[in-house]
Amino acid sequence: MLLLVTGGCGFIGTNFIRLALGRDRETTVVNLDKVTYAGNPANLADAETRFGPGRYTFVHGDICDAALVRDVIGSRPFDAVVHFAAESHVDRSISDATPFVMTNVLGTQTLLDAARQAKTPRYVQVSTDEVYGSLGPEGAFSESTPLAPNSPYSASKAAADLLVRAAHETYGMDVVVTRCSNNYGPYQFPEKLIPLMIRRALRDEPLPVYGDGMQVRDWIHVEDHCRGILLALEKGRPGGVYNFGGGAERPNIAVVKSLLAALGKPESLIRHVQDRPGHDRRYAMNCTLASAELGYSPQWSFEQGLADTVRWYLEHEDWIASVESGAYRDFMRAWYGERL
Ligand code: NAD
Ligand code: DAU
């Protein structure tokens, strides 16, 4: 399979490309990425030697650049587009929604237009459980739960999902949408809860827990998410939507305490700070459809996955340092400055 992957220099895209190239010798990947503050081409610097010559190509570019996207999609007979590229951090979308609307909405439509013109056989949209909004103490999101996004980030992702749906209904494009819960694992940018807390705990800095810390997320190891996306790519129904979760609902405060225990650091580092505006209280996923139609089931337990992730960050402190650009430090100062 020849795949055009967007956003492959980010957390999930990097893990997906490594999994897709590593599982067989028949897959070839072109990675189109703008390299924003969250993108790191060095994540795949070893791809040529590890997976063999000609199997991985990096193209530096913006998915909103219609001429460039047309050139890239028209340059080779791709079997599918797998679209990860996005502005992905909820807190940043609260500070400034514009890049989210540009990349997540306009960028998605630009890719859809180019894929349709090039007659690319399949298009996979990597989406999120956040499009469904927030749950009460009971129940779980299914694919038929109405979309009710609460942050500018999740609203931009929901808009993109609807554009993908429209491309299927209007032009008959073969599309699949995947919606996944909170990922963790190697190469995650240290603005998201788990790598942020590891990074700060290692430096004995206070750990900012929003509000009471009783918000619940369903944690999934990134490798399980990437396996799910490969299944959706290969077996998903045209026009289908599939939920993926890790079956590991945990309150944030419990996750932070587990990290401190794994790192041998004291709970006195925890600081309850001003909550995130519009903070969703609970997410949980019903993955029955993905299990029945695709044969999906998560392989990692949360405890094993978290221990493995902590080990990865301890062994890659140089990676954390290398992704912390000036833009990272500016955002951290502005967002947490008033909270801590
Ligand atoms: P990330 O922020 O780590 O990476 C995003 C990548 O997209 C970066 O490499 C960045 O350079 C690239 N990018 C951003 N704007 C671009 C543009 N205009 N043109 C080309 N490239 C651009 O994000 P992630 O956590 O790896 O998330 C990947 C996808 O998965 C996103 O679509 C996100 O909404 C979705 N998702 C993430 C999670 C999660 O827990 N992280 C869960 C469900 C779904
Ligand atoms: O659910 C899927 C989504 O998960 C993805 O679509 C997003 O791209 C991804 O960023 C993630 O969104 P969250 O907002 O859930 O992830 P984040 O790691 O930012 O926060 C996880 C929880 O931890 C959330 O309830 C907010 C809380 N939190 C986060 C940070 C950064 C804190 O309490 N303190 C913090 O400093």
Q: What is the pLDDT along the chain (340 residues), one digit of tens a residue?
A: 999 999 999 999 999 999 999 998 999 999 999 999 999 999 999 998 999 999 999 999 999 999 999 999 999 999 999 999 999 999 999 999 999 999 999 999 999 999 999 999 999 999 999 999 999 999 999 999 999 999 999 999 999 999 999 999 999 999 999 999 999 999 999 999 999 999 999 999 999 999 999 999 999 999 999 999 999 999 999 999 999 999 999 999 999 999 999 999 999 999 999 999 999 999 999 999 999 999 999 999 999 999 999 999 999 998 998 888 878 888 888 999 878 8
Catalytic position from the list 62, 87, 130, 191: 130
Catalytic position from the list 153, 283, 296, 313: 153
Q: Read off the pTM.
A: 0.98
- Looking at residue 325, its pLDDT comes to 82
Give the closest residue (by CA) to ligand 2 atom 29.
Answer: 193
- Looking at residue 328, its pLDDT comes to 81
Tell me the backbone φ, ψ of residue 287, rounded to 5 degrees.
-110, 25
What's the CA-to-centroid distance between 9 and ligand 2, angstroms?
Answer: 20
What's the CA-to-centroid distance between 222 and ligand 1, angstroms?
Answer: 13
Whole-angstrom CA distances from 2 to 7, 28, 152, 318 are 16, 5, 33, 33
- Looking at residue 331, its pLDDT comes to 85
What's the CA-to-centroid distance between 317 and ligand 1, angstroms?
Answer: 22
Give the closest residue (by CA) to ligand 1 atom 29.
Answer: 84
Instruction: Please return the burial class of 42, using the count of CB atoms within 10 Å of its CB with bins 0-12, 13-18 and 19+.
Output: exposed
Task: Tell me which ligand sits closest to the C-alpha of residue 10.
Answer: 1
Task: Tell me which ligand sits closest to the C-alpha of residue 177.
Answer: 1
- Looking at residue 59, its pLDDT comes to 97
Give the closest residue (by CA) to ligand 2 atom 34.
Answer: 209
- Looking at residue 283, its pLDDT comes to 98
Euclidean distance between the first and the last CA atom of the chain, given in angstroms as a whole number:
49
